[in-house]
Amino acid sequence: MTHLNLCIIETGASHPTMAARYGRYPHMIVQWLQPVLPNARFTVVSVFEGESLNLDNHDYDGFIVTGSPHGVYDDLPWIAPLQEQLREIARQGHPQLGICFGHQIMAAAFGGTVNKSHKGWGIGIQHYQFTCAQLPDSDVLVYHQDQVVQAPAEAEVIGGSSHCPIGALKYPFAARSIQFHPEFSNEFVAALIEFRNDPIDDREAQLQALASQPLNNRPYAQWAGDFFMQHRKNTPAHS
């Protein structure tokens, strides 16, 4: 069987206490995608820890940009280079998928705007609606304060919520991104709420919903898996 080589670009990590208990974000992404991509091989490049992403000579079939506690506007040495690398990945024609911070930095890299939401934190379960036939309208897991407030001119908004209208983007080249976290579990989000104690108006209601309302992240894994398979070894499509 031909293997699919995916590079997970790690852009941040949860607190070490949480990471030790639940794993870091790449671990969650692998667990989420492996059932629909059993032939995939995953390589993690932790750019936020100083690891270099080599795009000059690689055999990656696609790239996934993780979530992060950082903001795209933070003065960190790896953020501007990563935006240029995302543009280079697009020029090479390889597919890229952004999740949460990944959604935001891709938008910034391709001409959009990201800010802290005037609506405050979005945490817990939110209802997303989609215009993409493969993505069903459903409840999803979120944990963010920043969001894309202006989409790149060439991107199409394919989903969002009342709290985050620009919650999913499709580009005219091989790039997709989502603000929500299909790789998270209810248990992890509930633990984050308890551990971080960020300001949430409906904190108790969210904890109760997380404990009683199981979510199905399989359709989003299938959507992402199909995207990578469709665009693997694509020809350059963006300049």
Catalytic residues: 100, 181, 183
Type of residue numbered 151:
A
| Residue 182 burial (C-beta neighbours within 10 Å; 0-12, 13-18, 19+) | buried
Closest residue by Cα to residue 239 from 63, 110, 112: 110
- 47's CB contacts (< 8 A; 6+ apart) are 9, 10, 11, 53, 78, 81, 82
Residue whose token pair is 């100083």:
50
Q: How far is CA 190 from the centre of its chain?
A: 19
3-state secondary structure of 187: helix
3-state secondary structure of 206: helix
HEC profile of 24-65: CHHHHHHHHHCCCCCCEEEEEEEHHHCCCCCCCCCCCCEEEE
